[in-house]
Amino acid sequence: MTESVVVAVDGGTASAAALDWVIDRARSVDMQLEIITVADIDWIPQLGSEWVLLQHEQVVQAARERVASSGAAIDCSTTVEHDRPVPGLLAASRRADLLVIGSHKTAAAVGLVHGTLPLAIAAQTHAPLVVVPVGWEPSEGPVVAGVDDATGVAAMGFAAVEAERAHMTLEAVRAWSLPALMYGAWAAIDSPFDEFQAAERAMLSGEVARVRAQHRGLSIDPRLEYGRPSLVLAQHAQGARLSVVGSHGRGAIAGLLLGSVGHDLLMNMPSPVAIVPENVTPDDDETLDAVAAAGARS
């Protein structure tokens, strides 16, 4: 099945990395690629707008030439969207199987696709979103997936397909900790630590077994670790080919507030990060099935 991919560009180094990631992906995925740039209507002058729009047109054409010169077989189109950045890219996510944007994490950003924009898009995207850090280079590391109670099915389904396609190991990471009210509630001999750990291991084992049943040839490495989920997942994301977390689509990622797991990954960007929405419309269900095989409602 041909994958519909939208990549956002703005002429900066971050969007160049996103485009390179898409080109690399096209070597193993049939895709229809739409290169989009958003001409922010709040900043287009009433007089001389033709020059501004021409600049945007040059940006998407340069990106198209970069794709053509790569030698990858990609059916490509370009779009200059007249909108504000966030609603413009969210609208694009409605018509895509995958939305890809870049992130400039280390310095003052160039253009629109940078800074906190990935956070705003990640919290509301209708399609799986991949955010690529500036300076990205291909990695032979595993695909890392955060296993979460509420959104783990969608994220694991997407991650499993990505790992299978790349012939890489899927590292399923489950981080846990005792609820705050548990500390000091019992004497050490009555500590519920072992019981909680056993329950967490059972949850992770069940999720891994479900994915293995759907992807029998896939190598899966389950990792259960005690600690703050954002820190644990960020550590595993170092050197990963891709890190995957789920999203409720209401500003929450991986079952936590955006300021935790998703925020830490997207602001530090140890690897490309995929945000997979859990609550999708019926049309998006079909998209997720196509991209992530297992689907969000298995």
Give 130-149 pLDDT, tens digit per residue.
999 998 999 999 999 999 87
Do 208 and 222 touch, CB atoms closer than 8 A?
yes
Helix, strand, or coil (residue 8):
strand
Pair (185, 297) in one structural domain = yes
Residue, of 151 and 200, whose pLDDT is higher: 200
Token code pair at residue 230? 């954002």
- The percentage of residues in the chain with a pLDDT greater than 90, rounded to a whole number, is 54
Last residue within a domain, chosen from 99, 116, 136: 136
pLDDT tens digits along 169-207: 999 999 988 766 555 555 555 567 888 899 999 999 999
Whole-number Å distance between alpha carbons of 182 and 160: 35
Are 118 and 154 part of one and the same domain?
Answer: no
Q: Are 14 and 102 in contact (CB under 8 A)?
A: yes
Task: Indicate which CATH number applies to the domain containing 96.
Answer: 3.40.50.620
- Residue finishing a domain among 72, 105, 136: 136
Q: Which residue has the tokens 């794709």?
A: 67
Last residue of a domain, one of 72, 107, 136: 136
What's the CATH number where 229 sits? 3.40.50.12370
Query: Do residue 131 and residue 144 come from a single domain?
Result: no
User: How far from 165 is each of 39, 158, 162, 222, 239, CA to CA, in Å?
Assistant: 35, 11, 5, 19, 18
- Give the chain's domain count: 2
Work out the average pLDDT over 212-219.
94
Tokens describing residue 106:
């280390």
Question: Structural domain of residue 47, as residue ranges?
Answer: 1-136
Same domain, 152 and 130: no
Q: What is the pLDDT of residues 26-39, one digit of tens each?
A: 988 999 999 999 98
Beta strand 129-133 with 273-277: parallel, antiparallel or unpaired?
A: antiparallel
Instruction: Check whether residue 110 and residue 230 sit in a common domain.
Output: no
